[in-house]
Structure 1
């Protein structure tokens, strides 16, 4: 609601104005009233109303005097001047004070309603522009800070914004840089924003600067002199994430220091280490100094891999081929676990699969680099990667014949049709759709994401959330009814997913869209 102040030295005019229109229905609430200009100015300073309706002539201070003060002090309060016909030309001469409108006494109800609506629209548009400007300003500063962390040289035009940001940091308090990687296979856009909001709302850290690096990696620059207290606060974060988001995570932190120039170097070290997260235990806190840097060559893990792998496939023994791959994967993880070595093993696996599939059919046009990136970015355990590759291998070895094989676009269209027809079924998932289409889950999943940009699970969630949002606008349905209609059996789980997806809860959304 917008706050409004009414000031006139005549009691009956004030009373008439207070009851002339239904202010509440127009989005206003009466914040105060005054019988003279000095009292009106005092209330404006105290209450900071959005709109002041002021008589042009009042004792002590006139309405125009007050308008001038508001203009000079840039308070942002809109002003409507009440004037008689005799003073109207005089009032117009002071338009440079930023007066929004002039109303002749006696004030007409329809005229006042129109002006109030115009004021409301003007304020909302102004606030929207300010919000967009503030958001742009904040995001630009965040991008500049990220560029600094990545070692980029800041251009001269960005230096003032960077200095303005860092000047707000405590300069005599040690700081620690940490990165948090949270599993986000569904690609939910608000998962990290909600995590950072949770950390802020629960006051886990007294002074920190948050930033988002990727869809599943965020960072915190924490100002904390005590290593013991810092560790205790990390453990509090480690308890909040699985409880609130039900997602596995990894936290990696440097130790507190005072040398700000070390930040880019430490960020790169943390980033490199969090790239190894698939080799680290889930839901744990790691300190940068305790983790060893492994740079062993992956070549010996791949010795004769391709030959043994292809021999197994060509002899009709995909189970043996899977054993060859799994042995190479876990040997690498045991002797030289690094993100780089993992990418080499996976690349060799997909390349060998491509060689085999091209021998028995036309090339499928698969993008091996795409698969490698997806697995390394979105999976937090070797077990999950091994299971996915096993499913993929099964798909490669039992490819539908050319007569049965649908083009990727037709397959995706069929999958979308199944989702749209079955979204209310709680059992709808990747396996459900794979059974309906006759393709393996791995082939369906990767083909779907490659063409649409969404995983199957992400697309199902997105479709259900859009349906939920439309049903919430109805206003007559209970949350349980909405859950039943979109395939969720647990209201609490649905509410968490909705808030994670859109950034606000279902109940808040219903309030926002009440007629």
Structure 2
């Protein structure tokens, strides 16, 4: 509904204007009426009505003088002059000032309605034109900013508005899991008064460019991301660049953001990542990954029905990928290679196990949004194999390797040759002979020495108590632990701990 205002020094005219027609039926509402020109001028500037009816003759200021001052103050609405005079000079002067209509008193109702309908149509047409111009300008600015972040200098240098924007600049990228329009994002920012940035959509993400960046700009960006996660896409995440003093450098910061996006796949979840933090260790060459060792540990976990081993495998994968800042593509390649080798190894030793197909492995790997999700999915799929494994499958090359691996993992339990023989389907005496031949020690000696070595490692931690060490490595009797420790090390656990401090 369009707003109208009446300015006339005659109260009867103002009151009559309010009731002469049904304003709302024509799409108008009365903003107010004023009896003094100066008072009316202030109201025009403050309330900015769409149409102003103004008397041509008023004390202190004429209607034409009011029109002149209102336009000089930036008012761009429409004026309709009301006059009791049919003097052509008045009409001619009104035309010069850009007055939209000239009505004679007393006001003819039909003439007023026709004038308003014409005025309403003209306003609508102007609004449509203004909207089209605004949309074109907005699109032009958006395309210019896209050229900036793409590094297409020749495509934006001719845009005068961009050349005058002051630095330093910060650019942040928000990555979405859901489809989102630029209009919706801009509306969201405007509603929550986050309007200090230019929003550029490109591919599956949105860039926010902050000119005249200050120390508070990072907080502004984080506020925008938190808002998006809360109201639009809870899985959205963002990466923020380092500040640059020149708009020409923004394209290189965009490339840095894209490089960082490949690495955050392996990092702990954050609301906002920074390129400086993400890429700080990405310049070092990736260290080799011993896939065979990981596979052996996984097979032991399945055979021993021990999910704790799988959890440690997961943590070691995470540590490797994070330490080496491995990109998403490389992670997927490595993990696909791992599961295929694991499948072959399990199939070789346990042919009765129903294996996950290559395509199923592939789908699990590429569908994961994050390294942690990927490993959780793989661990669950791998763990399902353990239910199909009954007993231990040996061959001449790895039978004792598995027995020793079991000892290394469960050394703190109540182990004996008899327990191991039953578990691995061996005669106890025969297993003892094979064990000595493989390790060079009798079983009880090997286990004792291994426990003492583990105890020595624990004793390097000054906060741990001696009795805690004894229990942790499988000695339930403290005196027996002291005796065996001194036999192998030459000093008591306490003396050993003190000697570490002196060294």
Per the normalisation by structure 1, the TM-score is 0.51
Query: Deviation per CA, 1:431-483, whole angstroms, max 9, x where unpaired?
Result: xxxxxxxxxxxxxxxxxxxxxxxxxxxxxxxxxxxxxxxxxxxxxxxxxxxxx
CA distance in 2, matches of 1:232, 1:40: 44
Q: Tell me the equivalent position of 2:67.
A: 67
Output one character per residue of 1:123-177: Cα deviation in whole Å (capped at 9) or x when no partner.
233233223322322332232122122221235862412123x1xx4x5xx5532
Residue deviations 1:25-61 (CA, integer Å, cap 9, x gap): 3333323323354544444344432211122333333
Matched, 1:286 2:273: yes
Partners of 1:37 and 1:92 in 2: how far apart? 21
Q: Contact (CA 8 Å) 2:145, 2:156: kept in 1 or not? A: no
Q: Distance in 2 between matches of 1:274 and 1:291?
A: 9
For residues 100-143 of structure 1, give each alpha carbon's deviation from its aligned partner in whole angstroms, at most 9, with x where no partner exists. Answer: 12223221222212222322232233233223322322332232
Q: 1:149 to 1:295 in 2, by over 3 A?
A: farther
Match of 1:177 in 2: 171
Given that 1:277 and 1:380 are in contact with CA atoms closer than 8 Å, whether structure 2 keeps it comes out as no
Q: Residue 258 of structure 2 aligns with which residue? A: 271
- Name the CA shift for 1:93/1:40 in 2 (closer, same or farther; >3 Å): same
Corresponding residue to 1:250 among 237, 252, 255: 237
Equivalent-residue separation in structure 2 for 1:194 and 1:176 (angstroms): 22
Is 1:338 matched with 2:327? yes
- Quote how far apart the aligned CAs of 1:181 are: 0.7
Hey, what's the Cα distance between the residues in 1 that align with 2:248 and 2:45? 45
Q: Is the contact made by 1:210 and 1:220 (CA closer than 8 Å) also made in structure 2?
A: yes
Please name the residue that 1:442 is paired with.
none
Following the alignment from structure 1 to structure 2, what is the Cα–Cα distance between the partners of residues 74 and 199?
Answer: 28
Q: Give RMSD over aligned pairs.
A: 4.6
Report the Cα distance in structure 2 between the residues aligned to 1:199 and 1:7, rounded to whole angstroms. Answer: 39
Q: 1:57, 1:230 → 2: CA distance?
A: 55
1:182–1:106 CA distance, 2 compared to 1 (3 A):
same
Indicate the SS of the match to 1:248.
coil
- Say which SS state the counterpart of residue 21 (structure 1) adopts: coil
Aligned to 2:203: 214
For 2:176 and 2:34, locate their aligned partners in 1 and report how far apart those are by CA, in whole Å: 56
Secondary structure of the corresponding residue to residue 247 of structure 1 = coil
Q: Is contact 2:266–2:325 with CA below 8 Å preserved after alignment?
A: no
Contact 1:83 1:91 in 2 (8 A): no
- Does residue 138 (structure 1) correspond to residue 127 (structure 2)? The answer is no
Question: Could you say which residue in structure 2 is the equivalent of 1:55?
Answer: 55
Distance 1:260 1:156 in 2: 11
In the TM superposition, residue 384 of structure 1 has moved relative to its aligned partner by 8.3
What SS does the corresponding residue of 2:173 show, helix, strand or coil? strand
Structure 2 counterpart SS, 1:29: strand
C-alpha contact 2:153 2:248 (8 A) present in aligned 1: no
- Alignment match, 2:296: none
TM (norm. structure 2) is 0.52
Instruction: Give the corresponding residue for 1:158.
Output: 158
Q: C-alpha separation between the residues in 1 aligned to 2:156 and 2:247?
A: 19
SS at match of 1:154: helix
Larger radius of gyration: 2
Match of 1:189 in 2: 181
Q: Take 2:221 and 2:72, find their aligned partners in 1: how far apart are those partners? A: 48
Residues 15 and 268 from structure 1, CA distance in 2 versus in 1: closer, same or farther, beyond 3 angstroms?
same
Name the CA distance, whole Å, in 2 between partners of 1:22 and 1:103: 18
Local SS of the residue matching 1:30: strand
Aligned partner of 1:21 in structure 2 is: 21
Assess if the C-alpha contact under 8 Å between 1:189 and 1:215 holds in 2.
no
Question: C-alpha distance in 2, partners of 1:237/1:38?
Answer: 45
Match of 1:113 in 2: 113
> Do the aligned partners of residues 243 and 10 (structure 1) sit closer, same or farther apart at CA in structure 2, a change above 3 Å counting?
closer
Alignment partners' CA distance in 2, 1:237 and 1:387: 31
In structure 2, the residue matched to 1:98 is 98
2:123 equivalent in structure 1: 123
The answer to whether the 8 Å contact 1:144/1:158 transfers is: no
Contact 2:171 2:207 in 1 (8 A): no
Indicate how the Cα distance of structure 1 residues 268 and 243 shifts in structure 2: closer, same or farther if over 3 A, else same: same
Q: Is the 8 A contact 1:80 1:101 kept in 2?
A: yes
| Paired residues of 1:3 and 1:50 also in contact (CA < 8 A) | yes
Q: Is the Cα–Cα contact under 8 Å of residues 181 and 274 in structure 1 kept in the other structure?
A: no
Distance 1:141 1:204, change over 3 A: closer
